[in-house]
Structure 1
Amino acid sequence: MKTATRTLPSDQVLGYAELKNDLLFHRIPCSKRRYYVERPLSIGREKALEYKARYGTDVGAICRDRGIRVSLNERQGTVGQIRFRAQIELSSQERVITLYKSSMEELRQCAGVLLPGRSFSLQEVTDIHLAHELFHDLEFTELGYTNKRLDDISSLSLGPLRIRASVAKTSEIAAHAFSCYLLGLPCLPNLLDYAYMIHSGTLTAAGFWQEMERCSEALENG
């Protein structure tokens, strides 16, 4: 019942939670972490509003106009222990977004864990993931990958040698923002991933809110 009275995490907090999943997060200076959250949020939001002005929320129409083939797979997308809800194949010959219907249905059923009173149809959940993958197509064809557009960080030091790398998760943050603002969602859609974890028992609701508080404090102190 407590989740019903809580304020949803901000874009910045959910973006920071995504950033923490980056393999090089520990190498990002604390003073730069807000930059790696706010810049990709801005990139995704700006592109979403541009497309929304032309298409509304019809993400399928955007894909058709861009020549992207959308495939709905009835099965679960699994590789070993990893489960996919959607994936995109990009090449100069063909661009295909594959959506896994059973995984979408699972996510639809558990959305209310963190969004009480807000139900999602299967089409809405599908559109969320379609928009996310569409953004990666935009990166591939015209924008350039978000992580490559932002500052690199020092990933390894070997004496005087400094090896630099990009922060890969910034591309995911931008895609979350694109999906959110194109479709008019109440928050970044990675909230649904946490709802699924709570629903499946791999995370408690209390643990989720504690993590959001830690992310908020880290942003404030960064």
Structure 2
Amino acid sequence: MNNVKDQHKKRQTQTFSQIKFEQFWPILDRETLAWIEIKQDPHYALLSHAQIKRYVLESIQYGEAIAKQHTSKTQLKTLLNLLLQQGVQIKFIDLTHEKNEVRARYIRKPATIEIFRSSLIQIEQFFNKMGYHLSIEDLILLHVYHEWFHHLEETVIERTDETLPRILVKQTGPFKRYQTIAKTREIAAHTFTQHLLHISWSPLLIDQLLLLSEKNITKPQIREKFQELKQQAKTIFKEQ
């Protein structure tokens, strides 16, 4: 990483908290983004609107609550030292993950956070086009915070999905099988990251904009799509 750091030192850099997304792109609120995330859960179709609202909002609240317990961990060096003390290895992976949207991952045993360099580069280039030059520390923190939350879930705190009711996914006669909604963990992790980076927008917004812009969808088309998504989400979150 030294060469990358040297390149960043040659120019003035900004932090994520200085980015004004609304000046460059249509934006989505974090509740709508969280709804988009939970829609990817394999059991989403089994949820009622009331359940969706509860799972999204309580996952956001959980991520915020845990973040407030770790507000002093805002420097990369401090966080990396803490992770080493907790027995967590940090690895930078040169290969692109088979699923391009995977930026980093947490491996439980042995406790490891893997960060894909391709993701660091992709996000850096995305913001460069907006005129922002992010510090390499912030780029790494964006990834590490998210995976650190999953480490905390496995070692210190209760897993997000386990704080919420399991849902019935199959019934055969008297036998019932219940499962958690796994995507609630991602919603909480993104909220945790957002809070510790002191940013007004959810990190999920980056993924949505990259996904759409890489399909050559224009900004007016993205704006229209976002409006549709907001209206759909509103029908869920406005319900009592």
Range class of TM-score, shorter chain: 0.7 to 0.9
Q: Which one has a bigger Cα radius of gyration? A: 2
Partner SS, residue 109 of structure 1: helix
- Identity over aligned residues, as a percent? 21
Partner in structure 2 of residue 109 of structure 1: 125
Partner in structure 2 of residue 196 of structure 1: 210
Q: Residue 159 and residue 65 in structure 1: after superposition, are their counterparts in 2 closer, same or farther (change >3 A)?
A: same
CA RMSD of aligned residues (A): 2.6
Partner in structure 2 of residue 74 of structure 1: 94
Partner in structure 2 of residue 166 of structure 1: 180
Deviation at 1:106, TM superposition (A): 0.9
Q: Does 1:176 align with 2:190?
A: yes
Partner in structure 1 of residue 64 of structure 2: 45
Partner in structure 2 of residue 87 of structure 1: 105
Partner in structure 1 of residue 7 of structure 2: none
Partner SS, residue 91 of structure 2: strand
Tell me how far apart the structure 1 counterparts of residues 154 and 81 of structure 2 sit (CA, whole Å).
19
Counterpart AA for 1:168: A
Deviation at 1:85, TM superposition (A): 1.4
Q: Runs of 5+ in structure 2 lacking a partner?
A: 1-21
Tell me how far apart the structure 1 counterparts of residues 33 and 128 of structure 2 sit (CA, whole Å).
17
CA offsets, 1:79-138, max 9 Å, x none? Answer: xx55531111112xx31111111222112322588xx67664443232111110000000
> TM-score, length-normalised on structure 1?
0.83
CA contact (8 A) 2:160 2:185 kept: yes
CA offsets, 1:35-65, max 9 Å, x none? Answer: 101111111111111111x333544344234
CA contact (8 A) 1:40 1:171 kept: yes
Partner in structure 1 of residue 38 of structure 2: 19
> TM-score, length-normalised on structure 2?
0.77
CA contact (8 A) 1:111 1:196 kept: no
Partner SS, residue 156 of structure 2: helix
How many residues are paired up? 213
CA contact (8 A) 2:26 2:226 kept: no
Give the strand-richer structure, 1 or 2: 1
CA offsets, 1:2-40, max 9 Å, x none? Answer: x64887433222212211111111111221211101111
Partner in structure 2 of residue 218 of structure 1: 236
